[in-house]
């Protein structure tokens, strides 16, 4: 079952790219004491994710921060190197590119999808959430498209 508004995010060890290579981070540390927008995509460098989802958050990063967001985090079931390269390709300097290479976070929050039929394995669903000090305030999930998970939809929810 998917995590719900009012529930605390699990503390999972994932990775981000640091100045000397991949660095381990605890999700509990990323969300502690902060208001965070977290959005997840099925895959870095995939069509909708690259053409619209990530770019929207890049463009709207300042607007989100002006509404009290301390951090913007993008996660996907990809390795640290792919997430880093994807972020750089889209000028996502203001976004934490969080690698969930083994889908541990996606599984822990109950937001996976099985894409094995298309050779992609277990992936994250497309979602966006507003998290306050580790507790989910808003959770939007899109089966198709970006109707509720776009940066515009999250801005409207803030």
Q: What residues are annotated to the active site?
A: 49
Burial zone of 109 (CB within 10 Å; 0-12 exposed, 13-18 middle, 19+ buried): buried
Distances from the Cα of 22 to the Cα of 36, 71, 87, angstroms: 22, 20, 14
Helix (H, G, I), strand (E, B) or coil at 17: strand
Handedness of CA 78, 84, 88, 89 (dihedral sign): negative
Burial zone of 158 (CB within 10 Å; 0-12 exposed, 13-18 middle, 19+ buried): middle
How distant is the alpha carbon of residue 60 from its chain centre? 15
Helix residue ranges per DSSP H, the chain: 27-31, 47-48, 54-59, 61-66, 80-89, 104-108, 151-157
């Amino acid at each position: 079952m998917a995590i719900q508004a009012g529930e605390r995010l699990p503390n999972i060890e994932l990775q981000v790219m640091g100045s000397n290579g991949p660095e381990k981070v605890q999700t509990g540390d990323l969300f502690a004491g902060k208001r965070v927008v977290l959005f997840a995509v099925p895959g870095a460098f995939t069509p909708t994710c690259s053409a619209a989802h990530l770019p929207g958050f890049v463009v709207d990063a300042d607007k989100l921060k002006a509404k009290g967001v301390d951090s913007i985090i993008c996660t996907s079931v990809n390795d640290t190197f792919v997430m880093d390269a994807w972020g750089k390709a889209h000028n996502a300097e203001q976004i934490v590119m969080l690698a969930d290479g083994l889908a541990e976070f996606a599984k822990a929050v109950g937001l996976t999808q099985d894409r094995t039929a298309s050779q992609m394995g277990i992936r994250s669903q497309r979602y966006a959430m507003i998290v306050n000090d580790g507790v989910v305030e808003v959770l939007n999930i899109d089966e198709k498209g970006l109707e509720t998970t776009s940066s515009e939809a999250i801005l409207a929810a803030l």
